[in-house]
């Protein structure tokens, strides 16, 4: 899906109190930025932010970091946050393929919501549930590795379940018609169109 370009998106998000402009500076010490020792959970590919903002509002004792590669979707997120005060939420405009540059053994859970399926075989390594990415995630988890994934793409779901299993993850729950309390903008759209939502929760000790 082509992203809509928003003029001056980089300037708009850079002025947000939620945006962390130099995330590399906090590698291994994100708890000092939040000023507490609460668990840190991240969403990779947060888009316009509906999911992670709702999470932060309803779970004040958990710290959240939303990661989005493109600045245009983040404009909606920062605008929705203008009237809110959420000390447990930070945003990063960053390419997750370099995630080991900004985290080190400090993340408790990763959320992967409606990631790009990269359907062509030659692009398999770009999928956020490929062995390539799972190896990167292993290095940023604090203790137990914990991932929750949702997708409308049935083939990505099947691929991901296999990838998780082959890389040491235990599947805790799967659902091919999942209804979540916390939804993304894409999720609302797909549900309204009658499309099933695939969900998988995995852990690795």
Q: Which candidate in 10, 101, 104, 116 is catalytic?
A: 116
Instruction: Collect all residues with Cβ–Cβ distance below 8 Å to 90 and sequence separation of at least 6.
Output: 18, 19, 20, 33, 34, 63, 64, 65, 66
- Euclidean distance between CA atoms 61 and 67, whole angstroms: 20
- Report how far Cα 51 is from the mean position of its chain's Cα atoms: 9
The enclosing H or E element of 187 equals: helix 185-192
Q: 113-126 b/e with 16+ CB inside 10 Å = b?
A: bbbebbeeeeeeee
List of E strands, the chain: 40-44, 63-68, 89-93, 109-113, 145-151, 170-175, 198-204
Q: Catalytic: 116?
A: yes
CA distance to 45, 49, 153, 185, per residue, from 65 (Å): 11, 10, 25, 18
Token pair 């990661």 in the structure block, residue? 67
Specify which residues 107 forms β-bridges with.
Answer: 141
Q: Which are the catalytic amino acids?
A: 116
């Amino acid at each position: 899906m082509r992203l809509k370009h928003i003029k001056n998106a980089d300037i708009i998000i850079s002025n947000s109190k939620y945006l962390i402009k130099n995330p590399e500076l906090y590698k291994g010490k994100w708890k000092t930025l939040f000023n507490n020792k609460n668990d840190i959970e991240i969403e990779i590919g947060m888009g316009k932010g509906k999911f992670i903002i709702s999470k932060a509002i309803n779970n004040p004792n958990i710290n959240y970091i939303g990661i989005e590669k493109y600045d245009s979707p983040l404009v909606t997120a920062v605008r929705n946050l203008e009237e809110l005060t959420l000390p447990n939420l930070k945003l990063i405009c960053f390419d997750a393929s370099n995630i080991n540059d900004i985290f080190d053994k400090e993340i408790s859970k990763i959320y992967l919501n409606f990631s790009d399926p990269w359907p062509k075989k030659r692009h398999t390594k770009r999928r956020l549930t490929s062995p390539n990415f799972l190896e990167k995630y292993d290095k940023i988890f604090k203790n137990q590795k914990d991932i929750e994934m949702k997708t409308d793409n049935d083939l990505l779901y099947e691929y991901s379940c296999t990838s998780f299993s082959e890389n040491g993850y235990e599947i805790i729950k799967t659902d091919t018609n999942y209804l979540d309390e916390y939804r993304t903008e894409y999720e609302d759209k797909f549900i309204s169109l009658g499309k099933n939502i695939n969900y998988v929760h995995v852990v690795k000790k």
